[in-house]
């Protein structure tokens, strides 16, 4: 039970953490793109507060401690008192349904990119990595991360930059005559060493220099990649086959993609409507994505299957690569000393170089995603653990994935933000000048949903016969659903949408609009958008794709240089 004093303190904490500017109408749309987000008043927050012994420390999680492993040990001390609560919070009466729906949705949201990236890894590595490896990698990474990480709301998985980096490394190994899988073991071990060193020497503290400017660009990039990939894959259906049957497949695939996206969005929007009973509305809103996948998969089978491509799931759980020397499937453990020939000593030393880039990629992906999840706007009550998160990746996840010959995983921004938003509770608040919006007042911050999602991913390999019934274009609809939903809450998109409004006096009453001139507002947005375009271009050009993480790091000094062209007052409101 909580005393009146405790309730007053909780209310003040919430008030202090609410963002200065109200969320936009686009941000409200994320309610229609994520499973169950509850709406309630601040007055009932005390029911969701943690035990009295678990008070949130006030120390800076991104401060240099000037002690060996000081930041790591501080993360353990900060997060330790919450560990039991992390496992029990989802089972509280007010959280069970929301947590279950989140797990159901995120399972498909994680399975879809795992299968898709697995097929791409298979293509780019000539069958040495594949769907089985990608699903196993996602499941194993997630379970370890759920058990030991400092911020379990983050979801690990394959990312576009990681795929591009692996493709480049594969070609490099071929040109040098190195066996790819043993080389990846050494690359993974070097990467693990570099990542552990970053964690124990407080290098995550450098992320405190990253501002909203960089976070918004990175978040917008990931959203656009999801939307672009969904549209690109559907568009390719029209280019692959000009025959009547091919056109029929393309048209049918487009309907499946848009139908999945549309039905899921409509289901999520029912929570604010007055149709059906409250119970039915809640059920449809919570499980809209699963319902949509099931309905459109059934439609593909029942109406007329014109040959839409379905998921390529293996019939047996075994490694993808068959050794051409023996014509046998490789073993699950990869020998770092070579498979068909001895791995040279110079090769071991050489792999340290690409491992540095891989470590930097993991550092940027992990920490930028964590910064987005831990933003003040999300009103999290439990402390972060930046150094601990990276240490778990370096000490456990990377070495295990390397020896098993599995793709490496990093924090996946869209999946992480989807996980966060699906577990959020929002309060309806009025907007100045009329209308309403929502603000986050509570999040189910636990390890249970993260663990359940990734256990289901591993179990999915045992019911592949059902998953093989799902058309690929249905999962492209899920990609589109996630990409559009993750756009909400990003001020860069909010300001871009203002370009369609030619009457500044009618702009929404955002806090920064009250303090910044129209010229400064749009010039700042244009420059930020230009940086986004450059980043997106880097991800699409194979020859320079590996420069992606380096350019993200370069955005920090670029932001410092912007002080010469925008006033401190402008930057205060646009980049706080």
Q: Convert the pLDDT of each residue in 480-498 to its tens digit.
A: 887 887 787 788 888 898 8
Query: Cβ contacts of residue 446 below 8 Å, gap of 6+?
Result: 85, 86, 87, 88, 89, 90, 99, 152
pLDDT of the residue at 417 = 84
User: Stretch 130-140: mean pLDDT, rounded?
Assistant: 92
Q: What is the DSSP letter of 310?
A: B
For residue 187, what pLDDT band results from cuts at 50, 70 and 90? very high
- Structure-model confidence comparison of residues 116 and 301, the more confident one: 301
Distance CA 353, CA 351 (A): 5
User: Stretch 82-109: mean pLDDT, rounded?
Assistant: 88
Distance CA 52, CA 50 (A): 6
pLDDT above 70 (res 54): no
Distance CA 417, CA 404 (A): 29
pLDDT above 80 (res 104): yes
Query: Cβ contacts of residue 77 below 8 Å, gap of 6+?
Result: 57
* Count of other CB atoms within 10 angstroms of residue 27: 21
Distance CA 471, CA 481 (A): 16
Beta-bridge partner residues of 424:
443
Q: Convert the pLDDT of each residue in 142-178 to its tens digit.
A: 999 999 999 999 999 888 778 878 888 998 899 999 9
For residue 433, what pLDDT band results from cuts at 50, 70 and 90? low
Q: Are 116 and 415 in contact (CB under 8 A)?
A: no
pLDDT above 70 (res 315): yes
User: Stretch 314-337: mean pLDDT, rounded?
Assistant: 88
Q: Are 284 and 105 in contact (CB under 8 A)?
A: no
* Count of other CB atoms within 10 angstroms of residue 500: 6
Strand spans (E) along 384-454:
410-411, 424-430, 436-443
Instruction: Name the 3-class secondary structure at 94.
Output: coil
Q: Convert the pLDDT of each residue in 277-296 to its tens digit.
A: 877 887 787 677 788 888 99
Parallel, antiparallel or unpaired: strands 424-430 and 436-443: antiparallel
pLDDT of the residue at 545 = 66
pLDDT above 60 (res 5): no
* Count of other CB atoms within 10 angstroms of residue 337: 12
Dihedrals phi, psi of 441, to nearest 5 degrees? -120, -15
- Structure-model confidence comparison of residues 67 and 438, the more confident one: 67
User: Stretch 47-65: mean pLDDT, rounded?
Assistant: 52
For residue 387, what pLDDT band results from cuts at 50, 70 and 90? very high
Q: Are 382 and 82 in contact (CB under 8 A)?
A: yes
- Structure-model confidence comparison of residues 192 and 510, the more confident one: 192
pLDDT above 90 (res 200): yes
Distance CA 293, CA 411 (A): 25
pLDDT of the residue at 12 = 35
Q: Convert the pLDDT of each residue in 512-571 to its tens digit.
A: 888 888 899 999 999 999 999 998 888 777 677 667 777 888 888 999 999 899 999 998
- Percent pLDDT > 70 in the chain is 87
The residue count of the chain comes to 576
* Cα 445 from chain centroid (whole Å): 16
pLDDT above 50 (res 268): yes
pLDDT above 70 (res 475): yes
pLDDT of the residue at 123 = 80
- Structure-model confidence comparison of residues 136 and 482, the more confident one: 136
pLDDT above 60 (res 364): yes
- Structure-model confidence comparison of residues 240 and 140, the more confident one: 140
Reported pTM = 0.75
For residue 51, what pLDDT band results from cuts at 50, 70 and 90? very low
User: Stretch 445-455: mean pLDDT, rounded?
Assistant: 94
pLDDT of the residue at 441 = 81
For residue 434, what pLDDT band results from cuts at 50, 70 and 90? low
Mean pLDDT over the full length of the chain: 82
Which one, of 408, 440, 457, 409, lies nearest residue 106 by Cα? Answer: 457
Measured CA to CA in angstroms, residue 411 lies from 148, 217, 419 at distances of 15, 16, 12
Buried b (16+ CB within 10 A) or exposed e, 344-371: eeebbebbbebbebbbbbbbbbbbbbbb
Parallel, antiparallel or unpaired: strands 410-411 and 328-329: unpaired
For residue 412, what pLDDT band results from cuts at 50, 70 and 90? confident
């Amino acid at each position: 039970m909580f005393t009146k004093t405790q309730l007053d303190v909780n209310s003040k904490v919430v008030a202090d953490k609410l963002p200065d500017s109200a969320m936009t109408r686009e941000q409200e749309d994320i309610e229609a793109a994520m499973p169950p987000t509850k709406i309630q008043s601040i007055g009932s927050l005390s029911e969701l507060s943690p035990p009295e012994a678990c008070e949130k420390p006030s120390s800076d999680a991104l401060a240099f401690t000037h002690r060996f492993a000081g930041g790591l040990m501080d993360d353990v001390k900060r997060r330790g008192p919450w560990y039991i609560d992390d496992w029990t919070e989802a089972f509280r009466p007010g959280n069970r349904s929301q947590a279950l729906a989140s797990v159901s949705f995120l399972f498909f949201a994680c399975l879809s990119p795992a299968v898709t990236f697995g097929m791409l890894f298979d293509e780019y590595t000539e069958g040495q990595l594949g769907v089985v490896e990608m699903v196993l990698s996602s499941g194993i990474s997630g379970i370890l991360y759920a058990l030991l990480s400092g911020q379990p709301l983050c979801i690990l998985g394959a990312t576009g930059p990681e795929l591009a980096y692996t493709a480049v490394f594969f070609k490099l190994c071929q040109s040098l005559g190195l066996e790819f899988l043993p080389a990846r073991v050494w690359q993974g071990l070097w990467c693990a060493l570099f990542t552990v060193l970053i964690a124990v020497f407080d290098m995550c503290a450098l992320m405190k220099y990253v501002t909203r400017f960089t976070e918004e660009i990175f978040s917008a990039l990931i959203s656009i990649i999801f939307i672009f990939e969904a549209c690109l894959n559907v568009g390719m259906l029209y280019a692959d086959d000009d025959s009547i049957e091919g056109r029929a497949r393309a048209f049918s695939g487009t309907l499946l993609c848009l139908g999945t996206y549309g039905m899921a969005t409509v289901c999520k929007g029912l929570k604010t409507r007055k149709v059906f009973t409250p119970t039915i509305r809640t059920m449809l809103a919570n499980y809209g994505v699963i319902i949509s996948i099931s309905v459109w998969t059934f439609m593909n089978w029942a109406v007329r299957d014109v040959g839409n491509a379905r998921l390529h799931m293996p019939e047996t759980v075994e490694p993808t690569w068959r050794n051409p020397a023996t014509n046998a499937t490789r073993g699950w453990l990869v020998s770092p000393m070579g498979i068909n020939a001895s791995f040279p000593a110079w090769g071991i030393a050489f792999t340290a170089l690409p491992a540095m880039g891989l470590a930097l990629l993991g550092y940027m992906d992990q920490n930028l995603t964590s910064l987005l999840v831990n933003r003040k706007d999300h009103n999290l009550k439990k402390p972060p653990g930046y150094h601990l998160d990276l240490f778990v990746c370096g000490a456990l996840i990377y070495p295990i994935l390397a020896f098993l010959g599995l793709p490496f995983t990093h924090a996946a921004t869209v999946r992480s933000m989807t996980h966060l938003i699906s577990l959020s509770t929002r309060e309806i608040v009025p907007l100045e000048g009329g209308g309403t919006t929502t603000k986050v007042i509570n999040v189910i911050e636990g390890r249970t949903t993260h663990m359940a999602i990734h256990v289901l991913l591993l179990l999915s390999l045992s019911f592949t016969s059902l998953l093989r019934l799902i058309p690929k274009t249905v999962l492209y609809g899920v990609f589109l659903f996630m990409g559009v939903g993750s756009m909400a809450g990003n001020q860069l998109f909010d300001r871009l949408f203002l370009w369609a409004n030619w009457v500044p006096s009618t702009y929404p009453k955002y806090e920064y609009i009250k303090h910044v001139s129209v010229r400064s507002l749009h010039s700042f947005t244009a420059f930020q958008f230009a940086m986004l375009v450059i980043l997106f271009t880097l991800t699409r050009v194979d020859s320079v794709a590996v420069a992606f993480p380096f350019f993200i790091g370069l955005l920090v000094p670029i932001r410092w240089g912007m002080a010469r062209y925008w006033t401190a007052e402008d930057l205060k409101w646009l980049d706080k």
